[in-house]
Amino acid sequence: MITLDADDRLICLRAGEAADDHHGAVLPPISQASLYRKRTMKELLDGLSREHSANVYSRGTNPTVKVLEDTLAKLERAEACKCFGSGMGAVSAVLFGLLKAGDHVLFLNDIYGPTLELAARLEDFGVSWSHTYARDIDAITAEMRDTTRLVYMESPGSMLFRLLPIAQVCAMAKARGAITVIDNTVATPLLQKPLAFGADLAIHSCSKYIGGHSDVIGGAVMGSRELIERLFYKSYMLLGSVMAPLDAFLLLRGLMTLPDRMLRHHEDALAIANFLQDHPRIGGIHHPAFCNEDAALFKKQMLGASGLFSVALKDTSYDETLAIADRLTLFGRAVSWGGAESLVICGHKADPAGRATRLPATLLRFSIGLEGADNLIADLEQALS
Ligand SMILES: Cc1ncc(COP(=O)(O)O)c(C=O)c1O
């Protein structure tokens, strides 16, 4: 059984308690307004001069979204947070906001496909990029260029959940003047706090565990006040990927159960992965707790492993892999993850640019929901028989 930070539980539970009393409402009202009137022209001009911290227009700030931002900043132990209309909105704001023509960005580990697609789009604006699966710090350092301004990583990485030495990467990048960014979506701020290891920015797709009910698309970036303010003016306000107040409200509601959900996801995924490890049809388990090479990093960097893992089937064709996924009755065949319902998806043969991926052809990724490990094991048993 894993133990989460005691403060985090309270931060999540009291997320809705806004600074304003709102008549004692346990959740803040949904401030469904696009603009905010000021009493005087001077007050309006003052607001416009610091739009990141004044309610002027909801493409900038919104009181309900602000409550969520303050809560997420606390959870990630960051000075500030900005929320976005999607995880990709957050990724776009970071890349477009911090890079300029002539800069290079280095991507590490298995990266969410559309993030790399976006990197390829950046070439049109004079930004170069490269990507390595290296995890040894010397090999990673060798990939740095004089023009590398940003190092972007996922740990755990998408689909295969391998880990990176976050503190080493951040120290190396910092010494070379590059900003470090980590997509921390898989771990959530409860299971891993990358800013404590030296990362400058943490990105989250709130569409996954933070929302937790498969009903919201959202994103967030956490970091220093200075960097978040820079993003606000250089990309957030201009790209316009804005979180709706209703979505912020739903995410605040989701946060209240996040600690308990993450404990359940972690425990049940572990039990199911343990069952599958001994199954004759399984050739390999891709789960942070099952990877001997990453054992020390897992212990150092993470409190738990979430409900995500994948398996490679043994002596099985691609078509049979799909048929096994189709035989599952409790797992939905769907993209995304992080909700109450268990999901399964096969590995993609090619990345969005059409290049062959390094994923095994017989890979199935599971998002373990809240149906109970025994029920899910029984379902997997029948599908694999
Ligand atoms: C690791 C990771 N980062 C970012 C995203 C993008 O988030 P969104 O779908 O909210 O735009 C996803 C979505 O699947 C993801 O898995």
Considering the domain architecture, whether residues 50 and 149 belong to the same structural domain is answered as yes
Can you tell me the mean pLDDT for 172-187? 98
Q: What confidence score (pLDDT) does residue 226 get?
A: 98
Determine which residue's CA is closest to atom 10 belonging to ligand 1.
Answer: 87
Domain's final residue, options 253, 284, 307: 253
Active site amino acids: 59, 112, 183, 208
Position 352 pLDDT exceeds 70: no
Is the pLDDT score of 354 beyond 80? no
- Per-residue pLDDT of 277-290, as tens digits, reads 999 999 999 999 99
Residue nearest to atom 2 of ligand 1 (CA): 112
Statement to judge: residues 352 and 229 lie in one domain: no
Domain for residue 275, yes or no?
yes
pLDDT at 356: 76
Q: List, for residues 63-77, the tens digit of each pLDDT value.
A: 999 999 999 999 999
Tokens 């039990």 belong to residue:
271
Which of 154, 205, 210, 247 is the pocket-test mutation for ligand 1 (most atoms within 8 Å of CB)?
205
Q: Could you give the number of structural domains in the chain?
A: 2
Predicted local confidence at residue 353, as pLDDT: 64
- Same domain? For 292 and 326 the reply is yes
Structure confidence at residue 357 (pLDDT): 79
Alpha carbon of 115 to ligand 1 centroid (Å): 8
Ligand 1 atom closest to the Cα of residue 217 is 10
Output the domain CATH number for residue 353.
Answer: 3.90.1150.10
- Ligand 1 surroundings by CB, under 6 angstroms: 86-88, 112, 154, 158, 183, 185, 205, 207, 217, 219, 336
Look at residue 90 in the predicted model and tell me its pLDDT: 98
Q: Are residues 222 and 264 in the same domain?
A: no
Query: Quick one: 134 exposed, middle or buried, by C-beta within 10 A (0-12, 13-18, 19+)?
Result: middle
Work out the percent of the chain whose per-residue pLDDT is above 90. Answer: 92
CA of 205 to the centre of ligand 1 (A): 5
Alpha-carbon span 79 to 83, nearest angstrom: 14
Q: Looking at the structure, tell me whether residues 135 and 271 fall in a common domain.
A: no
CATH for 96: 3.40.640.10
Q: How far apart are CA 318 and CA 180, in angstroms?
A: 37
Residue range 38-56: mean pLDDT, rounded: 97
Q: What value does the mean pLDDT take over residues 95-101?
A: 98
The answer, yes or no, to whether residue 21 has pLDDT greater than 90, is no
Local confidence band at 16 (pLDDT 50, 70, 90 cut-offs): confident
Closest-lying ligand 1 atom to the alpha carbon of residue 337? 14
Average pLDDT rounded to a whole number, residues 156-171: 98
pLDDT of 350 reads 72
Is residue 343 located within the same domain as residue 235? Answer: no
What is the DSSP secondary structure assignment for residue 234, as one 8-state letter?
Answer: I
Give per-residue pLDDT as tens, 209-259: 999 999 999 999 999 999 999 999 999 999 999 999 999 999 999 999 999
Boundary (domain end) residue, out of 253, 286, 308: 253
Of 242, 191, 207, 195, nearest to 82 by C-alpha is 242
- From 206, 227, 253, the end of a domain falls on 253
pTM of the model: 0.97
User: Is 1 a member of any domain?
Assistant: no
Mean pLDDT for the chain? 96
